[in-house]
Amino acid sequence: MTIHREGYKSIAIGTLIFGAINFAFFYFFSASLPALCWVVFVATLGLLLFLISFFRIPKRTLTVNDNLVVSPCDGKVVVIEETIDEEYFKGKVLQVSIFMSPANVHVNLNPVAGEVVYSQYHKGKYLVAWNPKSSTENERHSVVYRKGGTEILAKQIAGALAKRIVNYLQVGQKVNQSEEMGFIKFGSRVDLLLPVGTKINVALNQVVQGGVSVIATL
């Protein structure tokens, strides 16, 4: 397991806060309230370890297959439905949405290999990620991959806790499947918009792993 570069600053700040809080408690209260000092130490250590775990990148055997769409993130499948995309396709698409809890790995990966033909950030609200309106009203970043004659849109969506979306892709860039697309801090969701009729390989409420689980067959 390694730590994602997006976490370096947050972990450094968290470590400083952890040290400052515990130094103050042990300096002023270790003689009179030793039990309180240890409670604070354990609680703040737990929070620091959780912060570190949020930016973890576990070692995995990634799925790479030109005929498959792999999961762009860890989480749980919360939507599988036909919908109308007004942003790029201007018509019917098949939407698969994956909700990421704060405990999930939050690096986002390319679901397919291909050329990036669209990459657009949108300001927006911070509705809870499972709200259907979050796909179109929340802060989000959309990327469209062109693979042969097929285009697939992956949408990173901020939630009530997620306040920063990072995306590394640019239009014209050639990318590989299961490599990094970006990162979302502190819980959110990713939508995949696929051509209508695409064979879906997951079910509602299924837990998936980024870069490993097969979402669909092209």
Give catalytic residue positions. 188
Please give the Cα distance from 47 to 159 (Å, whole number): 21
Q: Taking the CA of residue 159 as centre, how many other CA atoms within 13 Å lie in the half-sphere pointing to its CB? A: 20
- Count CB neighbours of 196 within 10 A: 11
Please give the Cα distance from 211 to 218 (Å, whole number): 16
